[in-house]
Amino acid sequence: MGALSEGDADPVNIMRRNLVLEGVTVGSRAMFESMNEAIDLHQMQPVIDRVFPFSHAREAYQYFASARDMGKVVIDLP
Protein backbone atom coordinates (compact mmCIF):
# COMPACT_ATOMS: atom_id res chain seq x y z
CA MET A 1 0.00 0.00 0.00
CA GLY A 2 1.44 3.35 -0.91
CA ALA A 3 0.27 6.86 -0.33
CA LEU A 4 1.40 10.33 -1.23
CA SER A 5 -0.78 11.97 1.41
CA GLU A 6 -1.81 11.35 4.96
CA GLY A 7 -4.54 8.91 5.84
CA ASP A 8 -5.83 6.63 8.54
CA ALA A 9 -5.88 2.85 8.75
CA ASP A 10 -8.38 1.19 11.08
CA PRO A 11 -6.33 -1.14 13.32
CA VAL A 12 -9.43 -3.13 14.31
CA ASN A 13 -10.11 -4.13 10.69
CA ILE A 14 -6.45 -5.01 10.23
CA MET A 15 -6.46 -7.26 13.30
CA ARG A 16 -9.78 -8.93 12.38
CA ARG A 17 -8.40 -9.88 8.99
CA ASN A 18 -5.09 -11.07 10.47
CA LEU A 19 -3.18 -8.74 8.14
CA VAL A 20 0.46 -7.78 8.46
CA LEU A 21 1.58 -4.27 7.56
CA GLU A 22 5.22 -3.56 6.89
CA GLY A 23 6.55 -0.10 6.35
CA VAL A 24 8.84 0.66 3.45
CA THR A 25 10.87 3.82 3.19
CA VAL A 26 11.99 5.11 -0.17
CA GLY A 27 14.05 8.12 -1.06
CA SER A 28 13.04 11.35 -2.71
CA ARG A 29 12.72 11.98 -6.42
CA ALA A 30 16.09 13.79 -6.31
CA MET A 31 17.71 10.67 -4.81
CA PHE A 32 16.10 8.51 -7.50
CA GLU A 33 17.42 10.80 -10.24
CA SER A 34 20.92 10.79 -8.69
CA MET A 35 20.87 7.00 -8.58
CA ASN A 36 19.88 6.83 -12.25
CA GLU A 37 22.65 9.26 -13.19
CA ALA A 38 25.21 7.11 -11.33
CA ILE A 39 23.94 3.95 -13.05
CA ASP A 40 24.26 5.67 -16.42
CA LEU A 41 27.67 7.21 -15.66
CA HIS A 42 29.17 3.90 -14.56
CA GLN A 43 27.29 1.91 -17.21
CA MET A 44 26.04 -0.51 -14.58
CA GLN A 45 24.16 -3.55 -15.85
CA PRO A 46 22.16 -6.16 -13.95
CA VAL A 47 23.69 -9.59 -13.50
CA ILE A 48 21.62 -12.05 -15.52
CA ASP A 49 21.75 -15.65 -14.34
CA ARG A 50 19.54 -17.31 -16.97
CA VAL A 51 17.23 -16.38 -19.81
CA PHE A 52 14.21 -18.59 -20.50
CA PRO A 53 12.07 -18.42 -23.63
CA PHE A 54 8.43 -17.53 -22.97
CA SER A 55 7.43 -21.11 -23.74
CA HIS A 56 9.44 -22.18 -20.66
CA ALA A 57 8.01 -19.58 -18.27
CA ARG A 58 6.84 -22.22 -15.78
CA GLU A 59 10.38 -23.64 -15.63
CA ALA A 60 11.73 -20.10 -15.10
CA TYR A 61 9.43 -19.56 -12.12
CA GLN A 62 10.42 -22.92 -10.67
CA TYR A 63 14.09 -22.06 -11.10
CA PHE A 64 13.55 -18.69 -9.42
CA ALA A 65 11.63 -20.30 -6.54
CA SER A 66 14.48 -22.77 -5.98
CA ALA A 67 16.75 -19.83 -5.05
CA ARG A 68 19.63 -21.28 -7.08
CA ASP A 69 19.98 -18.11 -9.14
CA MET A 70 22.94 -15.79 -8.75
CA GLY A 71 21.36 -12.91 -10.65
CA LYS A 72 18.24 -11.99 -12.56
CA VAL A 73 16.04 -14.70 -14.03
CA VAL A 74 14.67 -13.41 -17.34
CA ILE A 75 11.67 -14.58 -19.36
CA ASP A 76 12.18 -13.51 -22.98
CA LEU A 77 8.95 -12.30 -24.57
CA PRO A 78 8.52 -12.96 -28.30
pLDDT in tens, 7-64: 677 888 888 888 887 877 888 889 999 999 999 999 999 999 999 999 999 999 999 9
* Domain residue limits, the chain: 11-76
Which pLDDT score, from 0 to 100, does residue 6 have? 66
pLDDT band, residue 5 (cuts 50/70/90): low
pLDDT of residue 7: 67
Question: So what's the pLDDT on residue 76?
Answer: 97
- Cα of first residue to Cα of last residue in the chain, in angstroms, is 32
